[in-house]
Amino acid sequence: MSSAATRSPFVESQLAAPASPLPGAGVPWLDAARREHLAAFAEAGLPTKHVEAWKYTALRALAQRKFSTGDAQAAARAIDASAFALPGVDGPVLAFVNGVFRADLSQLAQLPDGLELRPMSQALREDPEPLRFTLSRYEPEKGDVFVRLNAALAGDGVLLKVVAGAKVAAPVHLLFIGAPAEGDVAWHLRHVIELGEGSELSLVEHHAASGDQRHLGTTCTDIVLREGAVLHHAAFQDAAPGAALIRRTKLHLGARSHATVHVVELGAALARHDLQAELVGNEARFDTRGVFLLHAKQHGDTQLAIRQQALNTTTDSVWRGVADERARGVFRGAVLVEPGADGSDCNVQNKNLLLSEQAEIDTKPELVIYADEVKAVHGATVGQLDERALFYLQSRGIPQAQARGVLTAAFCRTVLDDLPNAELRAYLGDRLVAQLPA
């Protein structure tokens, strides 16, 4: 708990008035909700390592830093949009620079049938009322102070809706660019995504940078899949080497819906991703594939938390981690099967490679099971490449260094195997390989 006297420089800096007025400011219920969240954030302060969810991710350094609340110049910064195009991703684009929507970098003309897509800032200015329930909703998750901060200061984000039965073929590109600014900026985005009954959507979440900076970005994403909806979500995190990025993605899966999430984490000095899924409908299915590849002094922390609450739900998670140099990789894969959630099937597999004496991996696969008709399996390993595989390749005349490279690349690329978008799969695979030590 922090009083005014003991607040960290970080918390103090976030209590300052926003650089430019937040979209939606002046709407009474929104002002009230934002004030409440900001007060709760100031009261709680940043979590210490004694908070279980932050045990392996120290925020001491962040707590000592100051960030301006938003970037007033974000709309004017020169950005070359073509630099951020992704192969195989040719649908609508919604782009943000330092947390501010940029119409000039976005591609929202001729949206496919059944797709509603616009920035939250626009909705807040035009007609905030439909967002009232979503944005004023109180979400007191223990230790989740960044959700508070986000709720208090996010003025923009993605509003996406696929109407029932619509199948949107072209992947939607959500682009978040960190651009160098006069000082360190903290930006916050709130995304609300809904897939109607029987609809289908392919989504690419892309974090990138137009130059090195040390901004802090937080995103809160809520994704709802109604009955029978199908979502392919690929998240490619390629933020600036100095950036701090704290994300929370929460999926709510209805009956017979199916979400597949692929995550590739390459950038940022501090990248924290809370990926949460609630399987509330019978026969919902949630598959995740993810990899982080860390070097220098990067700190990557993925917290996967799955709640299986209905009958015959299935989750399958395959995560890989590689830590080199002085990097530290953290993974938590928790599955909770609630009472009565019979027929639940869950599998979490986490494998990690440590490539250097100074690197560290902390992994925590958790199972909390309250139903007996379940099949729950998890496995986790930390180690090196398989010596036998290495020997095999060497015996075929491949030099050791190259053999290591091939095996490490294969180790990481596994998670992309079932990414349906072939061009994107190839691109992400190449980016992974490019970041591996030579």
Partner 1 sequence: MSSETNDSTATVLRDNAEVAEVLGRQYSAGFITQIETTGLPPGLNEETIRQLSAIKHEPEWMTEWRLSAYRHWLTMEEPKWAHLKLEPQDYQKISYYSAPKKKPKSLDEVDPAILDTYDKLGVPLHERAALAGVAVDAVFDSVSVVTTFRKQLADAGVLFCSMSSAIRDYPELVQKYLGSVVPPGDNFYAALNSAVFSDGSFVFIPKGVRCPMELSTYFRINAQNTGQFERTLIVAEAGSHVSYLEGCTAPKRDENQLHAAVVELVALEKAEIKYSTVQNWYPGDENGKGGVYNIVTKRGECRGDDSKITWTQVETGSAITWKYPSVILRGDRSVGEFHSVAVTHHYQQADTGTKMVHIGKDTKSKIISKGISAGKSNNSYRGLVEVKKSAAGARNYTSCDSLLIGKKCGAHTFPYMEVKNPTAVVEHEATTSKISDDQMFYCRSRGIREEDAVSMIVDGFCKQVFRELPMEFAVEAKKLMEVSLQGAIG
Shortest CA distance to 236 belongs to which of 264, 273, 208, 267? 264
**Among 48, 381, 400, 402, which residue interacts with partner 1 (rule: CB under 8 A)?**
381
Given the complex with partner 1, which of 122 and 282 has the nearer CB atom? Answer: 282
Give the span between the Cα atoms of 254 and 197, in whole angstroms. Answer: 9
Given the complex with partner 1, which of 162 and 355 has the nearer CB atom? Answer: 355
DSSP 8-state secondary structure symbol assigned to residue 171: P
Indicate the residue type of 89.
Answer: V
Number of residues that bind partner 1 (CB under 8 A): 35
Given the complex with partner 1, which of 382 and 409 has the nearer CB atom? Answer: 382
Cα–Cα separations (whole angstroms), residue 239 to 30, 179, 433: 30, 10, 17
Asked if 163 interacts with partner 1 (CB under 8 A), we say no
Given the complex with partner 1, which of 384 and 400 has the nearer CB atom? Answer: 384
**Among 210, 352, 408, 421, which residue interacts with partner 1 (rule: CB under 8 A)?**
352
Interaction with partner 1 in 329-348: which residues (CB under 8 A)?
339-340
Indicate the residue type of 202.
Answer: S
Interaction with partner 1 in 11-70: which residues (CB under 8 A)?
52, 56
Asked if 375 interacts with partner 1 (CB under 8 A), we say yes
**Among 66, 378, 413, 431, which residue interacts with partner 1 (rule: CB under 8 A)?**
378
Distance of CA 222 to the CA centre of its chain: 11
**Among 362, 390, 398, 426, which residue interacts with partner 1 (rule: CB under 8 A)?**
362
Stretch that binds partner 1, among 184-192, 200-208, 310-318, 376-384 (CB under 8 A): 376-384
Ramachandran assignment for 358, one of left (phi > 0), alpha (psi -120 to 50 degrees), beta (any other)? alpha
Asked if 142 interacts with partner 1 (CB under 8 A), we say no
Q: According to the 3-state scheme, what is the secondary structure of 189-213?
A: EEEEEEECCCCEEEEEEEEEECCCC
Stretch that binds partner 1, among 104-112, 254-262, 355-363, 397-405 (CB under 8 A): 355-363
- Shortest CB 252 distance to partner 1, Å: 24
- Shortest CB 382 distance to partner 1, Å: 4
Give the span between the Cα atoms of 204 and 421, in whole angstroms. Answer: 11
**Among 356, 402, 418, 434, which residue interacts with partner 1 (rule: CB under 8 A)?**
356
Cα–Cα separations (whole angstroms), residue 437 to 88, 322, 372, 406, 408: 27, 11, 45, 11, 10
Given the complex with partner 1, which of 1 and 5 has the nearer CB atom? Answer: 1
**Among 277, 306, 354, 412, which residue interacts with partner 1 (rule: CB under 8 A)?**
354
Cα–Cα separations (whole angstroms), residue 160 to 101, 187, 242, 394: 14, 20, 30, 51
Given the complex with partner 1, which of 364 and 431 has the nearer CB atom? Answer: 364
**Among 12, 366, 418, 430, which residue interacts with partner 1 (rule: CB under 8 A)?**
366
Q: List alpha helices for 8-144, DSSP H.
A: 9-14, 28-44, 60-63, 120-126, 132-136
Given the complex with partner 1, which of 81 and 380 has the nearer CB atom? Answer: 380
| CB within 8 Å of 137: residues ≥ 6 apart | none
Give the span between the Cα atoms of 83 and 64, in whole angstroms. Answer: 34
The two tokens of residue 184 are: 């360190």
Contact (Cβ atoms closer than 8 angstroms) between residue 83 and residue 31: no
Given the complex with partner 1, which of 134 and 356 has the nearer CB atom? Answer: 356
Give the span between the Cα atoms of 242 and 260, in whole angstroms. Answer: 29
Stretch that binds partner 1, among 187-195, 374-382, 410-418, 429-437 (CB under 8 A): 374-382
**Among 94, 310, 355, 419, which residue interacts with partner 1 (rule: CB under 8 A)?**
355
Given the complex with partner 1, which of 166 and 323 has the nearer CB atom? Answer: 323
Q: Which residues bind partner 1 (CB under 8 A)?
A: 52, 56, 339-340, 352, 354-357, 359-384
